[in-house]
Chain A
Amino acid sequence: AQTVTQSQPEMSVQEAETVTLSCTYDTSESDYYLFWYKQPPSRQMILVIRQEAYKQQNATENRFSVNFQKAAKSFSLKISDSQLGDAAMYFCAYRSQEGQGFSFIFGKGTRLLVKP
């Protein structure tokens, strides 16, 4: 079974600086998808960025980028020019296709604090 590990329960960053959130996963599949979701306090979970495992190029969405190391099974999220609105729980997720359908396996999350 696949697992997703986020080893940093909490991180803090100064506004306008850069922070990297770590995620490692374990799988025997060769083709899969990875995601970072953001869950602000008492608000809806929203997609930050996604990565297809067959693509070697790291995904980028504005200030958000990933460092995808397939061999190391590592999928870190870099947030550049951090803003107060980036404060949230960040979840790393793996899309598993075990069984007839699919499910998302989430890490425990990293709480990001942004200091003004």
Chain B
Amino acid sequence: KAGVTQTPRYLIKTRGQQVTLSCSPISGHRSVSWYQQTPGQGLQFLFEYFSETQRNKGNFPGRFSGRQFSNSRSEMNVSTLELGDSALYLCASSLGLLAGGSGETQYFGPGTRLLVL
């Protein structure tokens, strides 16, 4: 099976712009989660989507949003970019089972490195 893919791999934007990142999960996985990774804060959970519905959300401002399509592919959008949004954005997919089994294991993509100037 192909792994989790993320596009683009690198992005450079300026303050005030918006950006959309894309994630394609492993075939058969219905849950997609997004994380922001920075040297100072580490890995922080943004949100999780399952079957096109946001099922859980971390403590990020409303400028961070996402969606999931019927084929489980997910996009994350950041509006009005700030310098502090520079980070590696990781997407992870899983079967999304809430109880039992191996479905809770998340598999990560290579990430999108965003630089805001």
Contact = CB atoms under 8 A, between A and B. Distances in A.
Nearest to B90: A45
Helix, strand, loop or mixed for chain B's interface? strand
Contacts of B50: 101
A3 to B, nearest CB: 12
Contact of B108 (A46, A99, A105, A109): A46
B56 A99 contact: yes
Contacts of A43: 110
Interface string B90-117: 1010001010000011111111000000
B78 interface: no
Contacts of B90: 45
B42 A99 contact: no
Nearest to B57: A99
Given A45-B90, A108-B42, A103 B105 contact: no
Contact of A103 (B3, B33, B109): B33
A107 B3 CA distance: 24
B88 to A, nearest CB: 10
Given A102-B48, A103-B45, A108-B42, A95 B107 contact: no
A103 B104 contact: no
Interface residues of A, number: 24
B98 A101 contact: yes
Contacts of A99: 55-57
B31 interface: yes
Contacts of B33: 103-104
B112 to A, nearest CB: 12
7 contacts: A33-B104, A37-B108, A44-B3, A45-B90, A47-B105, A100-B55, A105-B45
Given A47-B105, A91-B43, A101-B48, 14 more contacts: A35-B105, A37-B108, A44-B108, A44-B110, A45-B90, A45-B108, A47-B107, A98-B56, A99-B57, A101-B98, A103-B58, A104-B43, A105-B45, A109-B43
Interface of B: 3, 31, 33, 35, 42-43, 45, 48, 50, 55-58, 90, 92, 96, 98, 104-111
